[in-house]
Structure 1
Amino acid sequence: MAKVTPTAKKLLLGKEIEHLRELAGLSQEEAAALIEKGQSKIAALEAGQASITPGDLLLLLDGLGVTEQWHKDVLLELRRNNHQRGKWTGIRSHCSEQFRTMVGLEEHCDLIRTVECEVPPGLLQCEAFIRALYKHAHAGTDLDARVQARLARQAIYKKSDPPEVAFVISESSVRREYGPPEVMREQVEYMIEMSKLPNVRLQLLPFKTRVQSASIGNRFVLLRIPSPGVAGPLEFAYTENEGELRYLDDKTAVAAHDRAWSRLTGAALSFEATRKFLRQVANEYN
């Protein structure tokens, strides 16, 4: 079975199935026998890598001891169209598959925590800065579409139930010049305004702050997606290096990144001190 990049709904359904199977005390092979499939089918379902028909899902849930109709309805809803990633046409069609995965996960999150160095976080980038960042690799309508596609991520701030979004950034994120002074000033001022949103927290780690680890040099994003079922939230650590993007859902890896987050938020400036620092930086871009 070819490996595919899972959607948030598939991942949520897979987590629910895994949780229910473990509660029932069944192996993957035993659970697969309930729907007359092989063990690999359940393994792929739990990993968000496969689909299941409504009939097979109901048969599986009955075999796993799910009796409440509300719970069955929730899981059937997770199954419905769970292969779709939204409307990836127009400007959004310019996004890479890996970027689409990030956007799809962000749209379902109730908590997003980002550690960034060298560049402002994507969810805090203004249009002028994005354009300066990508103009060397793209031009014309292609550039315009890519800029708008990246700005579209920020629609999560205006949802009826927006996620809590927190950032810890290195001072290098606002010192490294990717555009002329007027663009950099606009970018820093944009970050200040975004930090005033009720669901946004922004902290900066100055160069002069002494830290006990090198975590600020390891950019990562912690994503939490609430489950409508009983399995608890999905939690991921997203890491990005040159040529490699990884989504880690291993509990040990997520916990390690969570500890790094705690250390960095403890060492970074407070929210108001961060805004004061950023105002000083903006004024230096003349």
Structure 2
Amino acid sequence: MAVTRTFHKWLLGKEIEYMIRRAGVTQMQAANVIEVAQSKMANLIAGRGAISVGDLERLANALGFTDSGYQEKLLDLRRDNSRRGCWSTGYMKAYAPEIRLRIGAEKSADRIRSVEIEVVPGLLQCESYVRALYAGAPDVGALTHDDRVDARMARQDIFDRENPPVLQFVLSESCLRRVMGDAAVMREQSEYIVKLSERPNLMVQVLPFRSASRRRTLTWDRFTLLRVQSPGAAGQLELGYVEGVTGIRYVDDKDALSAYDLAWSRLSAAALSFEESREFVREVAHEFR
């Protein structure tokens, strides 16, 4: 059975990968320390496995990471990745297992960059838009329509945390014109984007239909790039989130992340400037009157 990746499992995996790299050993050699198969070590690094307290301490000591403060951080990550109850109460149960890694990363990220093709990104959605988006979705067990709405809106709590992330969005014009609900909802949504774009740490760019199509700027993926500072020693970590017709995919391979970073740069360069984009969204809001 595949193990669902969570944010703290991913962070712990990155710390294990960092220790192995700094120690100059192979995954197989590290796996031998705790007497597991190399495939299990690979799963731990990918955030898809579990490790006991004893094995984690044994691995850290064998790799030369004997500092008690650092080991305590590793154990904190292990404790956190075992806590499941928080996902089963209130609106938290609305988060599907496959999206929980993203939710955790959003809460800790210091930079979030997102490209959206057809739907306004969740972090920019106003409540009426969210309600329209989920209209008709049946209640499933204890999960209600209000739970879904509350869960989506709660993600915007990161705007007001003590050290909010830098948020950058490139939106296709189709995001602003694809009607969810009715004209009143779309007008409110456009006005909400304008309001959010006035925050100093939140930047919105629009890629209008009239922009000349260039092969290098085309993308059919909606993707998000998140940057997180590790609480341990692994430093700055990058995570990509890609959503398409085949489902959700997480990317943390360096080559793949570089490709998405390049795609972001090209799309951002092709889009309107921040001020031009804000005026464009205002015009769209006016058209929905």
TM-score normalised by the chain length of structure 2: 0.91
- 1:105-116 aligned at under 5 Å gives the runs 105-116=105-116
Aligned CA-pair RMSD: 2.0
Aligned: 1:125 with 2:128? no
State the alpha-carbon separation in 1 of the partners of residues 98 and 218 from structure 2: 24
State the alpha-carbon separation in 2 of the partners of residues 255 and 154 from structure 1: 27
Name the counterpart of 1:180: 182
- 1:204-283 aligned at under 5 Å gives the runs 204-212=206-214, 213-283=216-286
SS in 2 for 1:66: coil
Identity %: 48
Name the counterpart of 1:153: 155
- The Cα of 1:139 is off from its aligned counterpart by 6.8
Q: Which AA in structure 2 matches 1:146?
A: R
- The Cα of 1:255 is off from its aligned counterpart by 0.6
State the alpha-carbon separation in 1 of the partners of residues 226 and 37 from structure 2: 32
- The Cα of 1:85 is off from its aligned counterpart by 5.6
SS in 2 for 1:217: coil
State the alpha-carbon separation in 1 of the partners of residues 137 and 225 from structure 2: 29
Q: Which AA in structure 2 matches 1:30?
A: Q
Contact 1:226–1:233 (8 Å) recurs in 2: yes
SS in 2 for 1:204: strand
Aligned: 1:16 with 2:15? yes
Contact 2:165–2:201 (8 Å) recurs in 1: yes
Deviations 1:3-60 (A, max 9, x none): 2121111111111111211222222222122223333332222111222222222211
Q: Which runs of 5+ in 2 are unaligned?
A: none
Contact 1:7–1:85 (8 Å) recurs in 2: no
TM-score normalised by the chain length of structure 1: 0.92
State the alpha-carbon separation in 2 of the partners of residues 128 and 283 from structure 1: 18
CA 1:101–1:19 in 2, change beyond 3 Å: closer, same or farther? closer
- 1:92-107 aligned at under 5 Å gives the runs 92-107=92-107
State the alpha-carbon separation in 2 of the partners of residues 126 and 106 from structure 1: 18
Name the counterpart of 1:52: 51
SS in 2 for 1:105: helix
Name the counterpart of 1:66: 65
State the alpha-carbon separation in 1 of the partners of residues 64 and 147 from structure 2: 49
State the alpha-carbon separation in 1 of the partners of residues 200 and 217 from structure 2: 30
State the alpha-carbon separation in 2 of the partners of residues 53 and 164 from structure 1: 36
Q: Which runs of 5+ in 1 are unaligned?
A: none
Counting matched residue pairs gives: 285
Contact 2:133–2:181 (8 Å) recurs in 1: yes
* Greater Cα offset, 75-84 or 139-148: 139-148
